[in-house]
Structure 1
């Protein structure tokens, strides 16, 4: 039984270490935001799907905030069909890169 707990503990540490190793690259992110700039790159833009709403400007936001939001859309914890579809197409590295890119924008 102790061996089982030790293995589970090691697996948990390995998972944390793997997740912590993903570092966003803003230069790589610049090549991954083409699907974002159509809404998030236009000051005052209002989207009409699924309803009319003000699209937030994400440039300059914290990379942690942007990554958390994209992961929440990907998992379905945040509800917006367009954002969920986009987030589902992104790998964890893509999310980190996009977050790094937008966090450096002003």
Structure 2
């Protein structure tokens, strides 16, 4: 039993360490942000589907903020059907890359 507990503890530490190893690559995100531009790249930062609503500006936002927001959309903590669908398709590496890309952009 002690071996099982030790093994489970080691596995959880390894999982945490693996998650911490995800480093965003802005260059890799250049092919991933096309789905973001449809709403977040519109002048005035407003989307028109299914109704006109404001969307946040992503350029110059903190990478940690963007990554956390994407994870919350994926988990369903943040509510937006469009963002939920997009975030659901992203891996942790994709999220880190997109966050790195937008954090390096100017407003």
Shift of 1:2: 2.3
Quote the Cα distance in structure 2 between the aligned partners of 1:49 and 1:89.
20
Partner secondary structure for residue 35 of structure 2: coil
- 8 A Cα contact 1:25 1:96, kept in partner: yes
Segments of structure 2 that go 5 or more residues without pairing to the other structure are none
- 8 A Cα contact 1:70 1:95, kept in partner: yes
- 8 A Cα contact 2:45 2:57, kept in partner: no
With the length of structure 2 as denominator, give the TM-score of the two structures: 0.91
Task: Report runs of 4+ in structure 1 exceeding 4 Å deviation.
Answer: none
Partner secondary structure for residue 17 of structure 1: helix
Aligned CA RMSD, in angstroms, stands at 1.3
- 8 A Cα contact 1:50 1:81, kept in partner: no
- Which residues in structure 2 correspond to 1:70-81 (within 5 Å)? 70-81=70-81
Deviation track 1:27-49 (CA, whole Å, cap 9, x = no partner) reads 00111100101111123132234
Partner secondary structure for residue 22 of structure 1: coil
Quote the Cα distance in structure 2 between the aligned partners of 1:103 and 1:55.
16
Quote the Cα distance in structure 2 between the aligned partners of 1:78 and 1:50.
18
- Which residues in structure 2 correspond to 1:50-65 (within 5 Å)? 50-65=50-65
1:88 counterpart = 2:88? yes
- Which residues in structure 2 correspond to 1:6-21 (within 5 Å)? 6-21=6-21
With the length of structure 1 as denominator, give the TM-score of the two structures: 0.92
Quote the Cα distance in structure 2 between the aligned partners of 1:50 and 1:15.
39
